[in-house]
Structure 1
């Protein structure tokens, strides 16, 4: 935990104690895991042990080491799962993380990447298999270099669990491979079109993209990176909302499918979860993925990735880069952002329905925590111009508080009500602002159409908020009273007391490390 995390929660005193307690518990768990890992590895290395379980325990400890290393947040909730499920979910997560690491590495040639991804479900069942072709500076390279420890634990799982993990990784890899090929073909076609449109005798001077060959690498010169990014992103790899849903299904909806099937295979949850072709499970994944895609626009754009569908952003700007126009506090960008938020919010009724079907407490918390984080993030990014300037995240203290609060369906409904009200109030404020802006002179036809679309989206957002509130037990009158009231700030704490409390908690935390 950093001082910045404490500083962000200074005016939210209830978050401070939760933040420090969580950090202490997390540090103790990680320290114990590292100690177990070191002991078991030493025992295996010196060959003096006669315990036949030491090797298995050693690779298991290594898997949890990589789980901690790749995602501290997921590691905490996975460790809290019922023992029957814990190892299966850990291995499932590591398998998907490894697959995602291969897909994201742009230094791997496309043909090789597709080959490895499509064979991944078989490779992960091959004793000793590893992958060493990621970039040297890839943060998750070490997981793949030592993937044999994951293979060892995967092969020790019950057949029912292995079947689920293999099936989901196969289907996900196929979807990722298809997407990578389609994205490359689109980029190549756009690059070739740009090259043909530019005069051949002064291509270097104009920064035109040179013709490409059959290589999977476009080999674009570094001095033309900015121009190339604008050209490539103008094509956009996700055109329609159907494309968007399909992509999110492959990278997140299938995760929901796999986890649900693991829950049912364990006997801890009912087969009712897999009814209706796992539609609810798919929505669980789509809601999380859509929030991440919406929040990460700036980072993705600057890394030449585009996941916002043109069917949405095309209402507000001629190119994706047009969303970064700071005019009127990123007006075009915020309209597109709100449209993306509206699209994501539509999955919340399914999320509530899925969570209401869960029985086992640790499974419930495992599923509920990411969802309450997502609704809080949606409330944070809605109509927020900072999305087009950098990464926007909820406070660490708020995240820890939500982890502690999301214990059952009633608690989750209260959290959903809290942030849905916040979204509803922001929607009403933005509708009023658009109404004032629409009355000014000099708007182009495209701008007028964009404003009309933005208003229609906000109307839909209002209806969706009302639906969510009703599903959580809030009637319309209660909602309207809540919206009409001025949003209260955090509890007033004497100016001197807040930093004193924060310093005390930080010193206590530091002393225990």
Structure 2
């Protein structure tokens, strides 16, 4: 319920008027969340874990609900263990010589009932302070699932320790870092799916590509938040890219560098596009419908985020986000490979429309976008469903009747929210 209220609060009335097609998916999302709330176990440790997930990863809280209980609990604990490890990395107020030993030994700490380390802020600090409840849940999982979580935690911690004192200078550095913090997560998920007997193991390079796509989208979108991090900026954009445009990475946020900043941003997005083909390969191999939806939804949102960020100066003014109604549509409509091909095709079309003739990477960007669109077309599975990430100025809501109907729908929508 809290997620829907927050989504609606974020969505201005003008946004809903422009996109009345968002209303039904938002209402469906409300119902999904009501059912998810009812499924939260009463045991104190499980109740804490599910409520904590709802706070630190609301979208993830929704997508895991469709999985069976055993797998859902394992993925829940998997995520929270790694979220705790990530909280140590995110807390830049901690000196490196404090964090490095924790990174390297974190996989052992998850079994130590006495170990405790307070860091982070807000909900993540609460997670760290009450991490013993996550450990309790971990010990109730199948041994094979615990081993996957332990192994990924060990490898991720080692990668974080490596990059705590190492700059991301090249694209290879970026790919290696993102493999540690995101690619390993997807590799771990694949191993959990296999351990549950529901799916075959996804090859590591393909699984890692999924993580690289998701994390690249986050790194691009979160430029301003990372560069303004106190006491020390977090810099994940490779030096070998931004040095072609400015002298210092933080210079991209200044208005006088807007043209160079857009070209740099577009090169970052173009670099991320190389992971799309492997994502489609990985998705096409799944058999279990629930796992497919769990796996596919974040990838559709990632390419949607890339489409939103491409050639968008707002990346340097704040973190642009997909509108709440569009997220609800993705959650509601991503069910089959047909949906995925349709979404990938549409979002790549959005990017193609924004490629400027004077952009130094225009030809490479178009080549990569057209390659993905060819895969989507050649599949023979593409549907005509639209996510409406952008709308024509001559669309439905610009007619007088459209405005009247939209206002009526919004009024009904507000009433339904109020009585529930």
TM-score normalised according to structure 1 size: 0.74
Alignment map for 1:388-403 (pairs within 5 Å)? 388-403=316-331
User: Does 2:9 match 1:3?
Assistant: yes
Q: What's the counterpart of residue 172 of structure 1?
A: 156
User: Does 2:344 match 1:358?
Assistant: no
Shift of 1:180: 1.3
Cα distance in 1 for residues equivalent to 2:376 and 2:353: 17
Kept in 2: contact 1:375–1:419 (CA 8 A): yes
Kept in 2: contact 1:130–1:145 (CA 8 A): no
Kept in 1: contact 2:10–2:324 (CA 8 A): no
Alignment deviations for residues 269-301 of structure 1 (CA, whole Å, 9 cap, x no partner): 013x23xxx100000000000011011111111
Cα distance in 2 for residues equivalent to 1:503 and 1:365: 32
Alignment deviations for residues 137-185 of structure 1 (CA, whole Å, 9 cap, x no partner): 4431111211111111111211111111101000101111121133xxx
Shift of 1:494: 2.2
Cα 1:158/1:12, change in 2 over 3 Å: same
Cα distance in 1 for residues equivalent to 2:378 and 2:261: 32
Cα distance in 1 for residues equivalent to 2:199 and 2:396: 40
Alignment map for 1:160-239 (pairs within 5 Å)? 160-182=144-166, 237-239=167-169
Structure 1 unaligned residues grouped into runs of 5+: 38-56, 183-236, 435-453, 479-485
1:111 is matched with which residue: 84, 97, 102?
97
User: Does 2:236 match 1:307?
Assistant: yes
Cα distance in 2 for residues equivalent to 1:325 and 1:110: 30
* Paired residues, number: 397
Kept in 1: contact 2:66–2:290 (CA 8 A): yes
SS of 1:269's partner is coil
Kept in 2: contact 1:253–1:282 (CA 8 A): yes
Alignment map for 1:52-67 (pairs within 5 Å)? 57-67=43-53
Cα distance in 2 for residues equivalent to 1:129 and 1:334: 49
Kept in 2: contact 1:252–1:286 (CA 8 A): yes
1:294 is matched with which residue: 205, 220, 242?
220
User: Does 2:79 match 1:72?
Assistant: no
SS of 1:472's partner is helix
Q: What's the counterpart of residue 414 of structure 1?
A: 342
Q: What's the counterpart of residue 509 of structure 1?
A: 417
User: Does 2:275 match 1:344?
Assistant: no
Alignment map for 1:411-490 (pairs within 5 Å)? 411-427=339-355, 430-431=356-357, 434=358, 454-455=359-360, 457-473=361-377, 488-489=392-393, 490=395
Q: What's the counterpart of residue 327 of structure 1?
A: 256
Alignment deviations for residues 3-32 of structure 1 (CA, whole Å, 9 cap, x no partner): 3325323211111121133124314533x3
TM-score normalised according to structure 2 size: 0.90
Kept in 2: contact 1:78–1:366 (CA 8 A): yes
Cα distance in 2 for residues equivalent to 1:467 and 1:132: 47
> What is the RMSD computed on CA atoms of the aligned residues?
2.0
Kept in 1: contact 2:213–2:272 (CA 8 A): yes
Shift of 1:108: 2.7
Shift of 1:360: 0.5
Cα distance in 2 for residues equivalent to 1:406 and 1:473: 18
Kept in 1: contact 2:52–2:123 (CA 8 A): no
Cα distance in 1 for residues equivalent to 2:172 and 2:10: 40
2:136 is matched with which residue: 137, 140, 152?
152
